[in-house]
Amino acid sequence: LRSLTVLGIETSCDDTGAAIVDDTGQVLAQEIHSQQQMTIRLGGVIPPIARRLHEENIERVVTATIESSNIPVEQLDGIACTVKPGMPLSLLVGLKYARELVRRAKNVPFLPVHHMQAHALTVRMVDRVAFPFLVFLLSGGHCLLAIVKDVEDFMLLGESIDTSPGEAYDKVARRLKLKNLPECDGMSGGESVERVARRGDPHKFVDRYPATMSKYRDCNFSFSGMKTTTMRLIEREEEKHGIVGDGILPNVCDVAAAFQLSVGRHLLKRLQRCLVFIDYNDLLPKHNRTLVLSGGVACNSFIRQVIGQLCDHHEYDLVCPPPQLCTDNGVMVAWNGMEKLKVGKGIASDPELVD
Ligand code: KG4
Ligand code: ZN
């Protein structure tokens, strides 16, 4: 019996990704073009530039994926593409291309994919995590907590009311001018903050950070306050040390460590509220409870460690997908399409009809 195969296309932000997976979670082929270097240079994703780069790369990325899989398009069992949420200009490039492919392939179903749902389910490629489970997504674009009840059934419990943790990490990295440090060469903002924070003492400055959202009786998050606190802290320290231009603070490690600790504390406090809420409302079975932690920021080992401790305390199994499944790529989209195909849900015959 031939296994099922699905092609996935991802263009929701700054990665042009494509992959083909089978129904056992094997990746048969994958290609990605990352705009990360451009994003670092520009200090963020600029929508029309991101669109142009997607347009320049999509054909090559998808064609190379299909060719290296040796599966003709007509023999695929589904073509999946991220349709939301994301930057509209970027999303449209992938959708337009997928639409063309579906037309060319004739009888291959189209599988519209929700980017966040794809992030939430990728863990099931490598780990037999059963429904329902709790997912915690921390990345450059998102911060959310949800119960995944089924392939298409999600219950949102909390999200950031302002910026994402990844964006906060990136801003702090930029303001600390970490890309001028040779040890941070080629790293994302988050990675470089984590890198220097390891050598720092968080307690030198962590008291400068006021408690975040302590009056909010929900499971939402906020990162803009600690971002602002960090910006002010850097400004004051730079003045004190007479730093100008490209110069780097002598205590850069302590600032990074304090910022990271305050992010960690906030994540823990809100997650703990969420776990109590789940217990109180019986949202997950008392035994075999699992928290899936994913997204670019979830690659941070300090954050993993503190969340791991909370999970131990509340008797949750913590599952972290491998880093390559935490970030944006075609694989997560292909797998999400596969999950839909397997249960016969969310299949659109005509991609034109997808809103
Ligand atoms: O999941 P991702 O690759 O893309 C989306 O945003 O969907 O996440 C990228 C974000 C960037 O903001 C990057 O700085 C952050 O994840 N990041 C980290 C680490 N590695 C990547 N943040 C903190 N610590 C890390 N080790
Ligand atoms: Zn993402």
Ligand 1 closest atom vs CA 173? 14
Instruction: Among 12, 117, 139, name the best residue to mutate to test ligand 1's pocket (greatest count of ligand atoms within 8 A of Cβ).
Output: 139
Same domain, 239 and 285: yes
Whether ipTM > 0.95 holds is yes
pLDDT value of residue 310: 97
- Ligand 1 atom nearest the C-alpha of 141 is 6
The alpha carbon of 260 is separated from its chain's Cα centroid by a whole number of angstroms, namely 18
Helices first, then strands: H and E counts in the chain: 11, 10
Q: Low-confidence residues of the chain, pLDDT below 70? A: 1, 349-355
CB atoms closer than 10 angstroms to residue 88: 12
Containing domain of residue 110, as a range? 5-127+326-353
Q: What is the CATH number of the domain that holds 69?
A: 3.30.420.40
Name the phi and psi angles at 4, rounded to 5. -75, 150
Helix (H, G, I), strand (E, B) or coil at 47: helix
Whether residue 154 has its Cβ less than 6 Å from ligand 1: no
Total domains, the chain: 2
- In the reported structure, the alpha carbon of residue 340 is separated from the centroid of ligand 1 by a whole-number distance in angstroms of 27
CA of 76 to the centre of ligand 2 (A): 25
165 lines ligand 1 (CB under 6 A): no
Q: Which of 197, 140, 137, 138 is nearest to 167 (CA)?
A: 140
Is residue 147 located within the same domain as residue 287?
yes
In the reported structure, the alpha carbon of residue 42 is separated from the centroid of ligand 1 by a whole-number distance in angstroms of 16
User: Which residues are CB-contacts of 336 (< 8 A; sequence separation ≥ 6)?
Assistant: 8, 80, 111, 113, 114, 117, 118, 121, 122
Residues 23 and 123 in one domain: yes
Specify the DSSP element, H or E, that contains 221.
Answer: none
pLDDT at site 122 = 95
46 and 158 in a single domain? The answer is no
What pLDDT score does 285 carry? 93
Give the pLDDT confidence score for residue 349 in this predicted structure.
Answer: 61
**Do 267 and 156 have their domain in common?**
yes
How far is the centre of ligand 1, averaged over its atoms, from the C-alpha of 162 (Å)? 17
Task: Compute and round to an integer the Cα radius of gyration of the chain.
Answer: 21
- Using DSSP's 3-state secondary structure scheme, residue 6 falls into strand
User: What is the residue with the minimal CA distance to atom 6 of ligand 1?
Assistant: 140
Ligand nearest to the CA of 179: 1
Whether residues 226 and 298 fall in one domain: yes
339 and 242 share a domain? Answer: no
Residues 160 and 76 in one domain: no
Does the C-beta of 194 come closer than 6 Å to ligand 1?
Answer: yes
Tokens of 250: 């002598």
Task: Tell me the CA end-to-end span of the chain in Å, nearest whole number.
Answer: 35
Same-domain status, 152 and 215: yes
Residues 32 and 150 in one domain: no
Tell me how far apart the alpha carbons of residues 234 and 52 are, in angstroms, rounded to a whole number: 35
How far is the C-alpha of 239 from the C-alpha of 304, rounded, in Å? 34
152 and 110 both lie in a single domain: no
User: Which pLDDT score is estimated for 142?
Assistant: 86
- The residue to mutate among 191, 326, 331, having the most atoms of ligand 1 within 8 angstroms of its beta carbon, is 191
**What is the per-residue pLDDT for 1?**
65
The pTM (predicted TM-score) of the whole model is: 0.92
How many whole angstroms from its chain centre is CA 322?
12
Closest ligand relative to 173 C-alpha: 1
Same domain for 301 and 243: yes
CA pair distance 165, 28, nearest whole angstrom: 32
pLDDT score of 36:
80
Q: What is the pLDDT of residue 10?
A: 97
Retrieve residue 215's tokens.
Answer: 């009056």
